[in-house]
Structure 1
Amino acid sequence: MGWFEGLVLGLVQGLTEFLPISSSAHIRVVSAFLGWDDPGAAFTAVTQLGTESAVLIYFRKDIINIISTWMRSLWTPKLRTDPAARMGWYVIAGSIPIGVLGVTFKDTIETSLRDLRLVGTSLIVFGLLLAVADRVARNELTLSRDLGLPHALGYGLAQSLALIPGVSRSGGTISGGLLLGYRREEAARYSFLLAIPAVLMSGLFELREIGGDQSPAWGPTILATVIAFGVGYAAIAWFLKYISTHRFTPFVVYRVIVGILIIGAVSFGLIPAI
Structure 2
Amino acid sequence: MSILEIFILALIQGFTEFLPVSSSAHLILPSQILGWNDQGLAFDVAVHIGTLLAVVIYFRKEVFTLLGAWGASFTGKHNGESRLAWFILLGSIPLGLAGFLGKDFIELYLRSAWVIAASTIIFGLLLWWVDVKAKQVKDEYELTLSNALFIGLSQAIALIPGTSRSGITMTAGLMLGMTRESAARYSFLLSIPAIIMSGGYMALGFLDEGVVVNWSELGYGAILSFVSAYLCITFFLKVISKMGMLPFVIYRLLLGAGLIIFLSV
Number of the residue aligned with 1:179: 175
CA distance in 1, matches of 2:41, 2:227: 21
Matched, 1:13 2:13: yes
8 A contact 2:43–2:221 mirrored in 1: no
Number of the residue aligned with 2:222: 225
Code of the aligned partner of 1:241: K
Q: 1:159 aligns with which of 155, 180, 187?
A: 155
Question: For 1:87-146, what per-residue CA distance to the aligned partner results, in whole angstroms no more than 9, with x for missing partners?
Answer: 1110111001101000001122233211110001110000001001101110101112x2
Q: 2:256 aligns with which of 255, 259, 264?
A: 259
8 A contact 1:11–1:228 mirrored in 2: yes
CA distance in 1, matches of 2:215, 2:117: 29
Number of the residue aligned with 1:71: 71
CA distance in 1, matches of 2:40, 2:149: 29
Number of the residue aligned with 1:271: none
TM-score normalised according to structure 2 size: 0.93
**Deviation of 1:222 (Å):** 3.6
CA distance in 2, matches of 1:49, 1:214: 19
Structure 2: where are the runs of 5+ without partners? none
Number of the residue aligned with 1:25: 25
Q: 2:91 aligns with which of 91, 94, 102?
A: 94
**Deviation of 1:50 (Å):** 1.2
Code of the aligned partner of 1:113: L
Q: Residues 46 and 99 of structure 1: is their aligned pair in 2 closer, same or farther, counting only changes over 3 Å?
A: farther
8 A contact 2:17–2:51 mirrored in 1: yes
Number of the residue aligned with 1:272: none
Code of the aligned partner of 2:122: V
**Deviation of 1:225 (Å):** 2.2
- Amino-acid identity (%): 42
Code of the aligned partner of 1:223: Y
Counting only pairs closer than 5 Å after superposition, residues 34-73 of structure 1 correspond to structure 2 as: 34-39=34-39, 43-44=43-44, 46-73=46-73
TM-score normalised according to structure 1 size: 0.90
Q: 1:205 aligns with which of 186, 201, 205?
A: 201
Secondary structure of 2:242's counterpart equals coil
Secondary structure of 1:138's counterpart equals coil
**Deviation of 1:218 (Å):** 5.0
Please tell me the root mean square deviation across aligned C-alpha atoms, in Å: 2.0
Secondary structure of 1:19's counterpart equals coil
CA distance in 2, matches of 1:41, 1:158: 26
Question: For 1:194-216, what per-residue CA distance to the aligned partner results, in whole angstroms no more than 9, with x for missing partners?
Answer: 11112112202211334848998
8 A contact 1:93–1:153 mirrored in 2: yes
CA distance in 2, matches of 1:191, 1:64: 17
Secondary structure of 1:67's counterpart equals helix
Q: Residues 166 and 218 of structure 1: is their aligned pair in 2 closer, same or farther, counting only changes over 3 Å?
A: farther
CA distance in 2, matches of 1:250, 1:215: 42
CA distance in 1, matches of 2:220, 2:83: 37
Q: Residues 143 and 104 of structure 1: is their aligned pair in 2 closer, same or farther, counting only changes over 3 Å?
A: same
Q: Residues 95 and 17 of structure 1: is their aligned pair in 2 closer, same or farther, counting only changes over 3 Å?
A: same
Matched, 1:236 2:230: no
